[in-house]
Amino acid sequence: MSVYKTEQEEFWAGEFGDEYIERNIGEAAVASNLYLFSKMLQRASKINSVLELGANIGLNLRALKSLLPEAELAAVEINQKAVQTLQGWGKAEVYLESIFDFSPSRQWEFVFTSGVMIHLDPDMLPSVYDLMYRASSRYIGVIEYYNPTPVTIPYRGHDGKLFKRDFAGELLDRFQDLSLVDYGFVYRRDPNFMQDDPNWFLLEKRGK
């Protein structure tokens, strides 16, 4: 049995994480993700390698495979059931472990999270920011719920499991050679490509 540093890791590695898979699946979700990434990356240079931290069953990576068919894909995921599905897809290198335990031996041109940092213990965010910066050779993507100041809200009847803040702003403040390339929002009432109201941000290491 794995020993986790935070209660949130255990929460997502276990039964609740398994149930999340069943609620978030299907081609419509892939299509919406494809729309989001086509907007997010339209001002980026050619991307040949991608790492997603907290990839679940890989709906984002499936979209990116269509958008960037030649790119090398990799994923870090804590839930074993999700990893099995992602490995079955067979088009990404998959690491079954917590983000907090992942120690990359290489860099990827685009490193991102999507709906992941909102569910992490806020005290652990600096280590995640450091990981994203260290693992990226050029671009960092943030697709999370935005709030100008940190707030905690209930999540499906659970306390201490959903946190909103300015993740991208904190990354920009932490690393002085990062710059903002673009940002946007996807509305839950979009008639064709709805998402659950995330804000997205694309950051780049200057001089690259």
Dihedral pair phi/psi, residue 186, rounded to 5°: -120, 120
Query: Of 153, 163, 207, 203, whose CA–CA distance to 183 is shortest?
Result: 203
Output the CA angle 94-95-96, nearest 5 degrees.
115
Using a 10 angstrom Cβ sphere, with 0-12 exposed, 13-18 middle and 19 or more buried, the burial of residue 41 is buried
- Starting at the earlier edge strand, list the strands of the sheet with 72-77: 93-96, 72-77, 49-53, 108-114, 136-144, 199-205, 178-185
Tracing tokens 């679940």 back to the chain, one arrives at 56
Give the side-chain half-sphere CA count within 13 A for 49: 10
Provide CB contacts within 8 A for 192, sequence distance 6+.
Answer: 35
Least confident of 23-27, 103-107, 125-129: 23-27
pLDDT, tens digit (0-9, with 9 covering 90-100), for 148-191: 999 999 887 777 778 999 999 999 999 999 999 999 999 989 99
Provide CB contacts within 8 A for 8, sequence distance 6+.
Answer: 119, 120, 121, 160, 161
Domain ranges of the chain: 13-205
Residue 87, number of CB atoms within 10 A of its CB: 16
pLDDT, tens digit (0-9, with 9 covering 90-100), for 115-156: 999 999 999 999 999 999 999 999 999 999 999 999 999 887
pTM of the model: 0.90
CATH topology of domain 13-205: Rossmann fold (3.40.50)
- How many whole angstroms separate alpha carbon 1 and alpha carbon 10? 11
